[in-house]
A and B are shown apart, each in its own frame.
Chain A
Amino acid sequence: MISRRNFLKGAGLAGGTLALVGCGGGGTDAATDGDTGSDSGELISVGIINNDPNESGYRTANDKDMKETFTEENGFAAEFAYSMKNEEQIASAQQFIQNGVKYLLVSAADTAGWDTPLKDAQDAGTQTILFDRVVDADPSLYVAAVVSDMDAEGQTAVDWLTDQALPEYNIIHIQGVMGSAAQVGRTGALDEAVAANGWNLVVQQTADWNAETAQQITQSVIDSGQSFNVIYAENDDMAKGAVAALDAAGITHGKDGDVIIMGFDHNTWALEEVMAGRWNYDGQCNPYQASTILDIINTLESGGTVEEKTVIMEEGYADCDTITQEYIDENGI
């Protein structure tokens, strides 16, 4: 689905070891612009459909960001609906459309089944903006989609790993739930690099985003006496579990250690592990889409048109050599 990128990737993608300290900074400015841009008289009605904020730290941050952006002070009358079930989300969407909201913001639980509600919305004059996840619907049915590019997240991580120029690569690859967008993107990049560079995958196994399972998988490799020097875990929890197994076996890791630790998602505690030098890398999955959506709505409100249908979130990474406390404060979720 994601075909175009309208954001220039930072130095990290180009292969440098610079951390993207400025990542996401532009978004904050946009939010401030939004205050002045919106009509002070009448509130703009928006219906926001999201997944359950309890799902993950990512989702909690995403929901909080939405709530903080679409406030009355910013000129919005926002209504929220939460569900991790697609059909419940669609029911909420139809309710919002009946209520005549001006904008419908959707993070769909599933890609299928959104044709009809989005068509209904269009007929009723409601404009739809997808965020976080795309759906299988004709692009003409929505104004824009603001999403993360999981393939790029994986590529950024693999490029960083290539730059470490290790004498040999023996990798423990711990995957997320098989088939999820994050797993597919983050696995895809590593698989390609393994094939292209002749790296050795000591183990490639799914831990279903579960820290304890990751711990068991890593433990199993240690017990069988295989040697490894990289742990590529597809989220922070699993990296933490793997590290727990290393600690129990007295294997050093992180900045000056024997094993390179890589995680994803930018949980604040994970960034602190990177800062402390216990981990080497943490890739960002940016949940702060609200300011970009706000920009789009402001453009539409002022009579402009949105040119880019798919907006990819700018995402960076944290490296134990360059991470700063400021970066953690700004990007931790």
Chain B
Amino acid sequence: MTIEKNQDDNVLKRLLHSQMIIPIAALLALVVFNLIADPLFFAISMGQDSSGNPVLSGQLVSILNNGSELAILAIGMTLVTAATGGQDISVGATIAVAGSAMLAVLCGGNMRPEVVTTPFILAFLVGVLVAMLCGAFNGVMVAVFKVQPMVATLILYTAGRSIAAWINNNALPIIPTESGFGVFGGFIPGIPIPTPVFIAIACIVVIFLVLKFTSLGLYVQSVGINERAARLNGLNPTFIKWLTFVILGVCVAVAALIKVSRISTINYQTIAADIEMDAILAVALGGNALSGGKFNMGSSILGAYVIQFLTTTLYKFNVASAALPAYKAVVVIALVVLSAPIVRNKLSALWKKIRSPKQAEVEVAK
């Protein structure tokens, strides 16, 4: 009996001390709020789309669906943050560039193709290549030329959307529905779960395998914690920093595929607008230090879904348009302050104080 109880205690303790507690607590708060306000929030039903295929629908499905791009971006952003102690603010713009490149390949110069003959995989690979090039450019600026990451990525942040427009001569390519390109952002016929959910799961599985079976995580953290020490131990900080930007590039390409597939076209100015801020926020919400060093990948990914949960909750409760950013800001401020190391230390000290009389009682009883 007592042993079991101790183990429970340990699990609880470990959880309380782990970074995961912040996004988990935020998630629980949102869940409880929605349960009280409207339990139907969690209802999931089976329906049919306009082609008669079965689809699952409900707010939870929408959250998992719409949070996919952010979760994928959070993976790359976490690595960049950990290695360089800075953030990439060009991810929204490079999504526009990669998405534009994909559509250019698919359309082959004709903005309104009747049929798409190019294989989707080819378009995707070109998009990956373009996004990796953008990432490599950012990486060179940061790793080789030692430019502040936010300043270095400001270049593509400013120029990216114009480059995206230039790729397609400022025209708007539209992929016909019949081509089936919509599956990446929609549903695979016959499968009721949205495809982006599968894509996000695949990305998460891949990164966890990479972190488990390679030294990438260790190297990234070493470089982030102390670059000189890492070099003295035989690591190449320049390469590792550069590599994290290239990995983020791959994440950007996957997110771009989902984004352009969702509406089978692109708007260079509005696609993935402000998504860089949400991606950085996901990393911060995950309790990761934005100054680099140690990181917790699962925590960042959970942070991404928390942000989507918040967005969907705000839409659900029809918050006035003008007030929407204010609500979001308040929640974000609360979360970020709670996850700040100073506040956390204070809170855990307070927790100990509350716990200690009880603990004393237990000792006495023994």
Contacts and interface: CB of A to CB of B under 8 A. Distances in A.
A237 B55 CA distance: 24
A67 to B, nearest CB: 13
B273 A208 contact: yes
Interface stretch (A32-40, A211-219, A282-290): A211-219
Contact of B161 (A54, A204, A225, A244): A54
A223 interface: yes
B339 interface: no
B48 A53 contact: no
B15 to A, nearest CB: 31
A54 B165 contact: yes
A299 B348 CA distance: 78
A195 to B, nearest CB: 16
Nearest to B268: A54
Contacts, number: 108
Task: Tell me whether chain A's interface is mostly helix, strand or loop, or mixed.
Answer: helix
A216 B311 contact: yes
Contacts of A111: none
Interface residues of A, number: 40
B76 to A, nearest CB: 20
A107 interface: no
Contacts of A210: 267, 270-271, 273
A203 B318 CA distance: 6
B8 interface: no
Interface string A147-160: 00000000000000
Given A178-B321, A210-B273, A53 B170 contact: yes
**Which of B41, B262, B267 counts the most chain A CB atoms within 10 A?**
B267
Given A216-B66, A244-B263, A269-B265, 10 more contacts: A54-B170, A60-B170, A208-B273, A210-B267, A212-B263, A215-B263, A223-B57, A223-B59, A225-B43, A248-B57
Interface of B: 38, 40-41, 43, 47-50, 52, 55, 57-59, 61-62, 66, 112, 161-162, 165, 170, 172, 174, 186-187, 259, 262-263, 265, 267-271, 273, 311-312, 315-316, 318-322, 324
19 contacts: A55-B269, A56-B269, A60-B170, A206-B321, A209-B270, A211-B267, A212-B259, A216-B312, A219-B66, A220-B312, A223-B61, A224-B40, A237-B270, A240-B263, A248-B49, A248-B57, A250-B47, A250-B52, A269-B265
Interface of A: 52-57, 60, 175, 178, 203-206, 208-212, 215-217, 219-220, 222-225, 237, 240-241, 244, 246-252, 267, 269
